């Protein structure tokens, strides 16, 4: 597709979004206000202050976007979640096409490549809304597609690469995955072993990746590999690698504790030849690009888990209110009531940190520290919400019939990643000077 066609299609999709999903006055009519406009604008108070004009970072356009997405979630995703959880896989191509056609896979990506060209606060709004999907696996895979495997490509990739990989990923025609972690390197990204050795106009790639989300159905992988023997933070490069190249092997689909509807793969690369033009940005900058890419991943993950925690707390309040023990609702036993109030308070505190980090990020600030802190806290809080709420559901919580048991399993993953955020807080200060300035 030519750039002009992509532009036209992007604009068309915006207009379709406006008309078909009541996304009124969006881009085509009044334009989209930035968060900085929002922060400085006079506040309007009527009804719920957070939805009627007084929200810290969201405008009415953000809420309209969320509402449009909610309809897709309710109609196209949630009715099938139980089946996909049981099958241990959801149909990524089908769901991404639906989301891509409506513009949700490239909200903050350039219009030139099919995105909506909005600032990252809109991606945060989308991530929050995706938290209404009744499992963790599908939102995670959507997040990998929209905000984890593609930010570096969108920012540093050549026009040719963006046309080949970014545009179809935003449109939902290609499924993307992210290959950073390996059997011997997860939190410590710098110690990956996969190698890409230059031979003429090609790189020859050998190694393997572990725990790759969507790895069994992806069309391409954003792959981190060592391209020299230099210092570990300056010897890596990111590649766009088609998954159908000779030598790319899906070794196995990994069985997991949670996130069941998302497939997770172990991959091997055996003398995979990829053209040099498939490198994203500059050779040797892969670690830095990946660290930048992690910023959006962290903010996205926090926004997503916030809604899930909200939903779990609300469902727990409803269940414990009607469940009577010793002649009164479980909810009105003081320790239960206090604990739920405390958890909801912590959720709100985390939300404030997320919005603060987002507001700073879209103004061009480096928010590595705040984003890492938010994700660290998000992981721990999700685990606490899962633990406490599961307990309050009694035997019912131990069954597969209720969302709380799924959340209990799925939310463990955020905590696993959180260790890496502690590491980040330490190492980022050390390597801050290698990050490109805005």
- Residues 189-218 touching ligand FAD, rule: CB under 6 A, are 211-213
CA distances from 106 to 17, 122, 126 (A): 13, 10, 10
Closest CA to 192 of 152, 155, 238, 130: 238
316 Cβ neighbours under 8 A, 6+ residues apart: 340, 389, 392, 393, 404
Nearest distance in Å: CB 246, ligand FAD:
23
Q: How open is the CA angle 324-327-329, to the nearest 5 degrees?
A: 35
Between 177 and 306, name the residue whose CB sits nearer to ligand FAD: 177
Q: Which of 422, 425, 431, 435 binds ligand FAD (CB under 6 A)?
A: 422
Which span (25-33, 158-166, 370-378, 418-426) binds ligand FAD, by CB under 6 A?
A: 418-426
264 binds ligand FAD (CB under 6 A): yes
What sign for the dihedral angle of Cα 211, 216, 217, 218?
positive
Q: Which stretch binds ligand FAD (CB under 6 A): 60-68, 109-117, 317-325, 412-420?
A: 412-420
Contact range with ligand FAD by CB under 6 A, out of 9-17, 61-69, 173-181, 323-331: 173-181
Contacts to ligand FAD from residues 276-315, by CB under 6 A: none
Q: Which of 416, 425, 427, 435 binds ligand FAD (CB under 6 A)?
A: 416
List Cα–Cα distances, 61 to 15, 397, 428, in angstroms: 14, 37, 34
User: Strand 176-179 and strand 220-226: pairing?
Assistant: parallel
Nearer to ligand FAD, 32 or 148 (CB): 148
x/- map, 211-250, ligand FAD, by CB under 6 A:
xxx-------------------------------------
144 binds ligand FAD (CB under 6 A): yes
Residue 297 known to be catalytic: yes
Name the residue among 226, 230, 248 with its Cα closest to residue 239: 226
With tokens 């989300």, the residue in question is: 213
Query: Applying CB under 6 A, does 180 fall inside the site for ligand FAD?
Result: yes
Q: How many residues bind ligand FAD (CB under 6 A)?
A: 23
Q: Which is nearer to ligand FAD, 212 or 235 (CB)?
A: 212
Strands 236-242 and 279-280: antiparallel
Nearest approach in angstroms of CB 412 to ligand FAD is 9
Q: Determine if 135 is a binding residue for ligand FAD (CB under 6 A).
A: no
| Shorter beta-carbon distance to ligand FAD: residue 68 or 181 | 181
Torsion angle defined by CA atoms of residues 374, 375, 380 and 385, in that order, rounded to the nearest 10 degrees: 80
Paired tokens of 376: 């660290």
Angle at 174 between CA 438 and CA 251, to 5 degrees: 100
Q: Which is nearer to ligand FAD, 262 or 358 (CB)?
A: 262
Sign of the CA dihedral running 239, 243, 247, 250: positive
CA 196 to chain centre: 27
Radius of gyration of the chain (CA): 22
Q: Work out which of 15, 33, 186, 232 binds ligand FAD, going by CB under 6 A.
A: 186
> Which residue lies nearer to ligand FAD by CB, 113 or 211?
211
CB 234 to ligand FAD: min, Å: 20
Residue 121 interacts with ligand FAD (CB under 6 A): yes or no: no
The rounded distance, in Å, linking the Cα atoms of 3 and 21 is: 26
First to last CA, the chain: 30
Nearer to ligand FAD, 320 or 368 (CB): 368
Angstrom distance (rounded) from CA 244 to CA 311 = 40
Binding-site member from 330, 413, 414, 424 for ligand FAD (CB under 6 A)? 413
Q: Which of 85, 297, 384, 422 is catalytic?
A: 297
Residues that bind ligand FAD (CB under 6 A): 144, 177-181, 186-188, 211-213, 256, 259, 264, 413, 416-420, 422-423
Which residues carry out catalysis? 297
């Amino acid at each position: 597709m030519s750039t002009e066609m992509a532009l036209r299609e992007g604009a068309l999709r915006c207009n379709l979004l406006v008309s078909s999903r009541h996304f009124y006055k969006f881009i085509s009519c009044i334009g989209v206000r930035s968060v900085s406009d929002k922060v400085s604008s006079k506040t309007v108070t009527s009804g719920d202050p957070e939805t009627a004009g007084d929200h810290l970072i969201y405008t009415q356009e953000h809420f309209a976007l969320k509402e449009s997405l909610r309809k897709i979630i309710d109609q196209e995703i949630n009715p099938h979640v139980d089946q996909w959880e049981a099958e241990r896989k959801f149909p990524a191509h089908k769901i991404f096409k639906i989301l891509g056609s409506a513009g949700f896979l490239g909200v903050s990506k350039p219009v030139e490549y099919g995105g909506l060209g909005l600032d990252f606060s809109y991606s945060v709004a989308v991530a929050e809304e995706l938290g209404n999907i009744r499992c963790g696996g599908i939102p995670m895979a959507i997040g990998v597609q929209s905000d984890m495997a593609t930010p570096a490509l969108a920012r540093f990739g050549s026009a040719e690469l963006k046309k080949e990989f970014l545009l179809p990923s935003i449109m939902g025609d290609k499924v993307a995955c992210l290959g950073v972690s390996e059997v011997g390197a997860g939190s410590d990204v710098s110690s990956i072993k996969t190698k890409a050795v230059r031979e003429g106009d090609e790189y020859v790639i050998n190694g393997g990746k572990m725990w790759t989300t969507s790895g069994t159905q992806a069309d391409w992988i954003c792959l981190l590999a060592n391209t020299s023997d230099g210092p570990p933070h300056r010897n890596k490069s990111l590649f766009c690698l088609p998954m159908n190249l000779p030598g790319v092997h899906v070794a196995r689909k990994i069985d997991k504790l949670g996130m069941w509807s998302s497939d997770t793969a172990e991959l091997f690369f055996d003398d995979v030849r990829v053209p040099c033009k498939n490198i994203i940005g500059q050779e040797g900058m892969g670690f830095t690009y990946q660290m930048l890419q992690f910023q959006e991943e962290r903010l996205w993950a926090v926004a997503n888990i916030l809604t899930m925690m909200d939903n779990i707390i609300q469902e727990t309040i409803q269940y414990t209110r009607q469940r009577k023990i010793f002649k009164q609702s479980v909810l009105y036993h003081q320790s239960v009531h206090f604990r739920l109030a405390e958890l909801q308070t912590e959720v709100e505190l985390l939300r404030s940190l997320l919005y603060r980090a987002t507001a700073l990020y879209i103004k061009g600030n480096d928010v590595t520290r705040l984003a890492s802190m938010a994700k660290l806290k998000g992981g721990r809080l999700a685990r606490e919400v899962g633990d406490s709420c599961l307990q309050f559901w009694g035997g019912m919580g131990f069954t597969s019939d209720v969302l709380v048991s799924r959340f209990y399993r799925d939310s463990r993953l955020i905590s696993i990643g959180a260790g890496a955020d502690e590491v980040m807080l330490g190492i980022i200060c050390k390597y801050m000077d290698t990050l490109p300035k805005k």
